[in-house]
């Protein structure tokens, strides 16, 4: 096995014939996550959330100012979109005492639409929508891509993510995947790393699929969360050695990768805000 490099920005394991596998069964992965998403949306609550988020996305894309309040138990954060290009995420704070329960009906009110102000309860989605069981995926040979696509990703500084599906919603890397971040840190997810690619709260799965956020961003985000910010074999490696990541670092890398993967402005911003809020519980448990 050889290594392909591009100005030290990204590396990928290459086969003996010099061709590189970026993503295995990507079309099948999309098909399965789309099926799972349809299962989620196939409920009154799910369809209502999906419709509201799509409507909000259109408002953001047309340049309207929008504010989205996300609540998770006793915690909350606010996402602010300005002019279709500016995004701000507030610090996570404690909900005010006596705060009334959120209702999707409020998002459909004329007042909410006139003000561009909406609110969603992440835990309500957990209660209302059961996690679907995607069909088992048969094994398959790696998908090979042409040299032009490989060169394009390397030139853009994007990692070459090569995964295989174990069955259900679990995947594993069949080759090391390396990324050099904007701050100069180099992270490698090692071969054999297992991930469910589910780096977002269930509320967002009513609106986006794994493919919508790329495969790379959730994989590296999962690595940092699972390691509690201390990346070591057999999960991964980091350079400079000994670098410790905070939850903020992990979430910022998630947003950085989605941005470099050219994920849509609204989807990546919403995903970032949601994991920043909901991820606190997972991170504190490390």
pLDDT in tens, 231-250: 999 999 999 999 999 999 99
Q: What is the DSSP letter of 21?
A: -
Sign of CA dihedral 71, 90, 67, 61: negative
Model confidence at 129, in pLDDT bands (50, 70, 90)? confident
More confident residue, 278 or 148: 278
210/74 Cα distance (integer angstroms): 28
180/182 Cα distance (integer angstroms): 7
Please identify which residue in the block is written with the tokens 């509320």: 203
pLDDT at 140 over 80: no
Task: Report which secondary-structure segment, H or E, holds 179.
Answer: strand 177-180
Per-residue model confidence as pLDDT tens digits over 18-52:
333 333 333 444 444 444 455 555 678 999 999 99
DSSP, collapsed to helix, strand or coil, labels residue 182 as coil
Please identify which residue in the block is written with the tokens 């088992």: 136
More confident residue, 197 or 177: 177
149/155 Cα distance (integer angstroms): 10
Q: What is the mean pLDDT of residues 275-285?
A: 82
Per-residue model confidence as pLDDT tens digits over 64-85:
999 999 999 999 999 999 999 9
Q: Mean pLDDT over all residues of the chain?
A: 79
Among 36-40, 53-57, 174-178, 193-197, name the one with the lowest average pLDDT: 36-40
Per-residue model confidence as pLDDT tens digits over 188-226:
999 999 988 766 888 998 898 767 888 889 999 999 999
**Phi–psi pair at 179, nearest 5 degrees:** -140, 135
Q: What is the mean pLDDT of residues 151-160?
A: 61
User: Going by C-beta distance under 8 Å and a sequence separation of 6 or more, which residues neighbour residue 113?
Assistant: none
Residue/partner pairs of 57-62 with CB below 8 Å, 24 or more apart: 57/264, 57/266, 57/267, 59/116, 60/84, 60/265, 60/266, 61/265, 61/266
Cross-strand bridge partners of residue 13 = 3
Instruction: Tell me the pTM.
Output: 0.79
Among 128-137, 141-150, 185-194, name the one with the lowest average pLDDT: 141-150
Q: What is the mean pLDDT of residues 90-117?
A: 95
pLDDT at 154 over 90: no
């Amino acid at each position: 096995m050889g290594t392909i490099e591009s100005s030290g920005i990204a590396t990928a394991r290459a086969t003996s014939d010099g061709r590189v596998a970026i993503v295995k069964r990507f079309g099948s992965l999309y098909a399965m996550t789309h099926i799972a998403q349809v299962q989620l949306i196939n409920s009154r609550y799910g369809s209502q959330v999906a419709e509201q988020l799509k409507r909000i996305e259109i408002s953001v894309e047309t340049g309207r100012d929008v504010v989205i309040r996300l609540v998770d138990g006793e915690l909350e954060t606010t996402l602010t979109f300005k002019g279709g290009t500016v995004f701000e995420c507030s610090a996570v704070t404690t909900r005010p005492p006596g705060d009334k329960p959120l209702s999707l009906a409020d998002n459909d009110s004329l007042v909410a639409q006139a003000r561009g102000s909406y609110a969603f309860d992440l835990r309500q989605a957990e209660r209302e929508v059961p996690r679907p069981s995607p069909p088992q995926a048969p094994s398959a040979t790696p998908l090979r891509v042409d040299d032009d696509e490989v060169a394009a990703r390397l030139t853009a500084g994007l990692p070459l993510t090569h995964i295989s599906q174990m069955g259900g919603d679990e995947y594993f890397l069949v080759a090391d995947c390396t990324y050099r971040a904007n701050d100069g840190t180099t992270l490698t997810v090692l071969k054999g790393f297992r991930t469910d690619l589910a780096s977002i709260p269930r509320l967002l799965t009513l609106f986006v699929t794994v493919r919508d956020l790329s495969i790379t961003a959730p994989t590296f985000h999962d690595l940092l969360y699972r390691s509690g910010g201390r990346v070591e074999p057999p999960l991964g490696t980091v350079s400079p050695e000994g670098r410790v990541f905070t939850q903020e670092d992990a979430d910022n890398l998630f947003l950085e990768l989605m941005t470099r993967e050219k994920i849509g402005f609204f989807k990546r911003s919403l995903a970032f805000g949601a994991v920043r809020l909901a991820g606190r519980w997972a991170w504190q448990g490390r």
